[in-house]
Homo-oligomer: A and B are copies of this chain.
Amino acid sequence: MSPLTQGESVSEYVSRSLEIIDKSGLEYRLNPMGTVIEGPWEEVLGVVKACWERMKEDCDRVSTVIKIDYRKGKTGRLTSKVASVEKTLGRKLKT
């Protein structure tokens, strides 16, 4: 999620989103191209909406990309998805 109206550096605005995500209580992982959040649809989309509402307060155009990977009955996937790839390759990867 980033504004199109605030110039080249958007770190200040992304930081406000991470403040909301970090305080939400949901499990998350920040990476250089986004943040992965795990939890039930309502809770995760609720946090995404809170970030969006905050950004809209002073940014007149906001672009958001959301990818959702639902898998029945599975939890703890922030860890297990990476671990299963490392296990398959038999070595640690750059994470």
- Residue positions of A touching B, CB distance < 8 A: 2-5, 7-8, 10-12, 14-15, 18-19, 22, 27-34, 36, 38, 41, 45, 49, 52, 56, 60-73, 77-79, 81-82, 84-85, 88-89, 93-95
- By the criterion CB–CB under 8 Å, are A28 and B94 in contact? yes
- Once A22-B93, A29-B94, A93-B30 are accepted as A-B contacts, the answer to whether A70 and B81 lie under 8 Å apart by CB is no
- By the criterion CB–CB under 8 Å, are A15 and B88 in contact? yes
Other than the given A3-B4, A19-B89, A30-B93, 13 more pairs (CB < 8 A) read: A5-B7, A8-B71, A11-B84, A31-B82, A32-B36, A32-B79, A34-B67, A45-B45, A52-B70, A60-B73, A61-B72, A64-B70, A66-B66
- By the criterion CB–CB under 8 Å, are B4 and A10 in contact? yes
